[in-house]
Amino acid sequence: MNELAIELNNTLKDSVAYDFLSSKGKRLFFPKGIVAQSAEASAKAKRYNATVGLATDHGEPFCLSDIYDQFVPGSFKKSQIFSYAPGGGDKELRAVWKEQMVVKNPTLKGKLFSDPLVTAGLTHTISTIATLFVDDGDEVVCPDLFWDNYELIFCDLAGGSLKLFKSFKDGKFNVEGMKKALMESKGDKARVILNFPNNPTGFSPSKDESKAIVDVIVSVANTGKKIMVITDDAYFGLFYDNDTEKESLFSYLVNAHENIFAIKGDAATKEEMVWGFRIGFITYGSKGFTPDHLDALSKKTLGAIRCSVSNCDRPGQSLLLKAIKEGRNYQKDKDYLFDVVSARYIEIKRVLEKYKDSKFLKPYPFNSGYFMAFDTLGNDAEELRCYLLEKYQVGAINIMGKTLRLAYCSVEIEQIENLVELVYQASEEIWS
């Protein structure tokens, strides 16, 4: 094993994070290679910097004018578009994102947690977590209504398995089911991933449910079991009801117990509506962490990024940073787009009331995000999906044959009533 990896492992040995490191995670480190040496040279090599393979002319990267000229003249230096970004992302963007995390999650104020590292989108965040902390045979506790990529990442890629519990009980999040799954998880530690607003259902917990989730996790930690909690906050901020919890669970877990290792996954992709930029973040915290622990975790994560995508997209980071810091319409546009999706949410809620007596489809609880989903009540969701597509030219998503997901975020408000009508009509036609 590389001596740098051994050094990081030794730093982490007295932290809860060490107990979750996979065999790959233990081997990973941030090498003092081209990237690290180039970063060092950028600060000290004032005469000549002959490190990184970035061709320059008078200090600015080579570029094609047909690309550069598509940007507003004078809005960006060539280096802000065409140069490599640091392995962990643009430092200023990371600092700004951390500040925003505290603004959006006031409970984080004054708490110790890592500087967020930039990833190539939320999928890359989850994949990096799996690389670092999931080994062959490891279980990841997860509600049974989950984003299908979890299975591909945690099971097929990392060699682990999903330990599922029913998402809902009596119309609320199944806190007791989660507790049972955590307690029954193999060995003296457990991993759990929680995604709110949820994909595929569009559900987020109320303030009371959120407190209950945190209390249960703490109660399991009190038994001596160590718990790694991944909060997948891909759709964070898209909360439409007053009583919905508006903070990430990470805020409450980051300093809750020495046996709890909290990891936050963010997606500027959705929060800032820049899907094509592929910008995500990964952030760590625990009550028992020191700055040295966080530094070691960051370096391991940088190693995982270095041996996968190497570094993330520079133009997207520069554009996002400029919008957040200087955008004249930044908040105005975000407020407007939130109102558009919120109105669609209100409309689909209204329309669904007409069909509450359906024998074939039952909506799962939803109050946030981009989606809602139907329990097909034992019928084949794939059959309904195909029928809708072939007969009515309506696209929907089948989830494991038992759930049909509608992304109402992509349907105009005046079209929602007809969309819902066709879904119910199709279910009647094939299952009556």
Buried b (16+ CB within 10 A) or exposed e, 366-378: bbbbbbbbbbbee
Lowest mean pLDDT among 3-12, 47-56, 70-79: 47-56
Which whole number is the average pLDDT over 39-56?
77
Higher pLDDT, 78 or 51: 78
pLDDT tens digits for range 344-401:
999 999 999 999 999 999 999 999 999 999 999 999 999 999 999 999 999 999 999 9
Would the pLDDT of 39 be above 80?
no
Task: Please state, rounded to an integer, the average pLDDT across all residues of the chain.
Answer: 95
Q: Nearest to residue 368, comparing CAs of 234, 250, 274, 186?
A: 234
pLDDT tens digits for range 230-289:
999 999 999 999 999 999 999 999 999 999 999 999 999 888 988 889 999 999 999 999
* pLDDT of res. 62: 86
Would the pLDDT of 41 be above 90?
no
Higher pLDDT, 45 or 286: 286
Peptide bond into 197 cis (omega under 30): yes
Q: What is the third-level CATH fold of 3-30+85-326?
A: Aspartate Aminotransferase; domain 2 (3.40.640)
Tokens matching residue 58? 């008078």
Tokens matching residue 44? 């000290």
* pLDDT of res. 401: 94
Q: What one-letter code names the amino acid at 297? A: L
| Distance from C-alpha of 299 to C-alpha of 305, rounded to nearest angstrom | 10
* pLDDT of res. 58: 81
Higher pLDDT, 310 or 207: 207
Q: For the chain, how far is it from start to end, CA to CA, in angstroms? A: 63
User: At 53, is the pLDDT very low, low, confident or very high (cuts 50, 70, 90)?
Assistant: confident
pLDDT-above-90 percentage for the chain: 85
pLDDT tens digits for range 95-131:
999 999 999 999 999 999 999 999 999 999 999 999 9
| Block residue for tokens 């061709």 | 55
Higher pLDDT, 291 or 58: 291
Domain with CATH 3.40.640.10 in the chain: 3-30+85-326
* pLDDT of res. 31: 86
Phi, psi of 339 (to 5 degrees): -65, -35
User: At 410, is the pLDDT very low, low, confident or very high (cuts 50, 70, 90)?
Assistant: very high
| Distance from C-alpha of 83 to C-alpha of 55, rounded to nearest angstrom | 9
Burial of 301 (0-12, 13-18, 19+ CB in 10 A): buried
pLDDT tens digits for range 264-281:
999 998 889 888 899 999
* pLDDT of res. 102: 98
User: At 32, is the pLDDT very low, low, confident or very high (cuts 50, 70, 90)?
Assistant: confident
CATH 3.30.2230.10 fits 331-431, yes or no: no
Q: Nearest to residue 286, comparing CAs of 127, 93, 133, 159?
A: 133
* pLDDT of res. 66: 87
Buried b (16+ CB within 10 A) or exposed e, 223-242: eebbbbbbbbbbbbbbbbee
pTM: 0.94
| Distance from C-alpha of 132 to C-alpha of 329, rounded to nearest angstrom | 39
Domain with CATH 3.90.1150.10 in the chain: 331-431
| Distance from C-alpha of 182 to C-alpha of 189, rounded to nearest angstrom | 9
* pLDDT of res. 269: 83
Q: Could you give the angle at the alpha carbon of 124 between the alpha carbons of 160 and 62, nearest 5°?
A: 150
226 neighbors 259 (Cβ within 8 angstroms): yes
